[in-house]
Amino acid sequence: MNQATSPSNSPSSSSSSSEALAAERLAKRRARSMISQRKYRANQKASNDQLVHDVRALELMTVTLEARLVVLQERQGVSIMVNAIKEYLALFQHGYHPFGPDSSLTQRQEAFLHRIMSPNVEFMGNVGVVPVLESGATFTSLFSNYQVVTQHIQVLSITDDDVLIEANCTIHVQISATTIQSLFPQLIRRHDNSDILDKLIGKALQLPTRYVFVFNIASRQVIRLDIFASIAAAFVEQLQSIDAACDALQGVMKDEVLLRLQQLGYG
């Protein structure tokens, strides 16, 4: 007589057991995944909270340092110096014309420089207010439609004795026949430069220019002024050719006027 088959050993029972085991494993994996996600979100939140805290702390520190800098600058009279630079750039916005029709403006310009500058102010290798005025007159006379546009003024450094302030400007000028005759007479003498002359005369140049003022804290006067501008770079941009610019500038180092301009920081 055949033995009866145990229900537990039947194929359907074995399949059910395997499915239950797989489901249990899946449930465990899901549980572990949920735990891992909760931990990740908790860590991410803690990281974000710490980042927010650090940013707020840095912002507070920045505000504190800026406030201290303002106090320090006010003690040293920096705002007075910055305002003096703004007034200087506004007063000389259209250059300096000592023999021009507006004699009252000329007098205001000269009186202003003598007031804000030390009698022994250093200017591009020269000493005194007169060289500052002379260089302004020379440079202005070489161009037409002269205009200074100020972009930015910033304090570079403060010491116990001096304050260093930089003004970044663009000088807009128009090239005239006087410009060519004074700076580039070789272009007129040569007959093969008509194209270059056509590209220059009457055209506008933009000269990125840096003014660097050094103020004495005790006197609050300018004790040094440096001006940095590049006419050569402006000519390259205008002519759209380095070769043409070099051709235009060829020989000008022998020209007395340009030599003087270069000594004053305009070369």
| Residues in the chain, total | 267
115: left (phi over 0), alpha (psi -120 to 50) or beta: alpha
Helices 78-91, 11-75: crossing angle, 10 deg rounding = 80
pLDDT tens for the chain, 267 residues long, are 455 455 555 656 667 777 778 778 888 888 888 888 888 888 888 888 888 888 888 877 777 676 666 666 566 578 899 999 999 999 999 999 998 888 999 999 999 999 999 999 999 889 999 999 999 998 888 888 889 999 999 999 988 899 999 999 999 988 888 877 777 776 666 655 667 777 778 888 888 899 999 999 999 999 999 998 877 677 667 666 555 555 555 544 334 444 444 544 454
192 exposure class (CB count in 10 Å sphere: 0-12, 13-18, 19+): exposed
Reduced to 3 states (helix: H, G, I; strand: E, B; else coil), residue 266 is: coil
Q: Does domain 77-263 have CATH number 3.30.70.120?
A: no
Instruction: Decide: 114 and 123 in contact? Cβ < 8 Å.
Output: no
Q: Say what the pTM is.
A: 0.64
- Phi, psi torsion values for 235, nearest 5 degrees: -70, -40
Instruction: Decide: 215 and 208 in contact? Cβ < 8 Å.
Output: no
End-to-end CA gap in the chain: 122
Question: Which amino acid, 9?
Answer: N
pLDDT tens profile 13-49 = 667 777 778 778 888 888 888 888 888 888 888 888 8
Q: Which residues pair with 165 in a beta bridge?
A: 155, 213
**Cβ neighbours, 10 Å, residue 252:** 21
In angstroms, the CA 197 to CA 177 distance is 9
**Distance, C-alpha 206 to centroid of its chain:** 16
Which residue has 């500058």 as its token pair? 117
In angstroms, the CA 35 to CA 148 distance is 67
Instruction: Decide: 164 and 157 in contact? Cβ < 8 Å.
Output: yes
- Which two tokens mark 107? 């007098």
In angstroms, the CA 83 to CA 165 distance is 11
Candidates 152, 162, 144, 171; CA nearest to 227 is: 171
In angstroms, the CA 144 to CA 137 distance is 12
Instruction: Decide: 96 and 109 in contact? Cβ < 8 Å.
Output: yes
Per-position b or e across 193-216, b if 16+ CB within 10 A of its CB: beebbebbeeeebebebebebbbb
Task: Give me the sheet containing 143-158, strands edge to edge.
Answer: 126-127, 117-123, 222-229, 204-216, 162-175, 143-158
| Domain positions in the chain | 12-73, 77-263
